[in-house]
Amino acid sequence: MKELKEETENKILEAARAVFLKKGLDGARMQEIADEAKISKALLHYYFRTKERLFDAIFRSVFMALFPKVSQIIDEKLSAEEVIRKFIYLYIGMLKKHPYVPVFIIREINRDPDAILKFISEVELWPMAQKFTEMMNNEIAEGRYRTINTKHIVINIISMCVFPVLAQPIVKNIVFKDEYTSYENFMDERAEIIIDFVLNSIRK
């Protein structure tokens, strides 16, 4: 009985993830999630009484798929360069695997910024950013890098990783003329290009 319950719950979460990532909270319907999971709407409500509760579970799982790994990288006592390199490969890999995530997150930030910011504070992104800032500032003080505001480094990395995925329809049609293989090859190369760009921008 317990195994059946867990199997049904996992099926619901997988279906909800697919629907929410494409349509967000406002666009998704419980009936659509039930259809995707191939269960009745009544059974869906038995497991998750409201759409909001189900959405919260999905949003948390999307965030937690990436950020605990980031925390591990920062806690590995690596150099700033090694942290930057590992983070970019991790982030690009996640974006290739889940291309709907950037659109999903931006849509939900615009829909309810207070709720999203509250959740971000719960997953302790600020301490991670603080650790990276301290690491960079120490290496700047030691003369390894030129003086630079580390916030620019973080924003530059995220922007360069996210934009080709966020603007995928434009990038595919204008840059690659809808050639799927060329875009995939481009994304495979992207991590190393960003790493070189970022490191060259901060080295003396």
Tens digits of per-residue pLDDT, 57-96?
Answer: 888 777 776 666 777 888 888 899 999 999 999 889 988 8
Task: List, for residues 15-51, the tens digit of each pLDDT value.
Answer: 998 898 888 888 889 999 999 999 999 999 888 888 8
- Report the C-alpha gap between 18 and 37 in whole angstroms: 10
pTM to 2 decimal places: 0.79
Residues of the chain with CATH 1.10.357.10: 65-202
- Report the C-alpha gap between 58 and 20 in whole angstroms: 8
Superfamily classification of domain 65-202: Tetracycline Repressor, domain 2 (1.10.357.10)
Q: Tell me how long the chain is.
A: 204
Out of 2.30.110.10, 1.10.10.60, 1.10.600.10, 3.40.50.620, the CATH code matching 2-57 is: 1.10.10.60
Angle between helices 180-202 and 80-97 (to 10 degrees): 160
**Cβ–Cβ under 8 Å, residues 53 and 33:** no
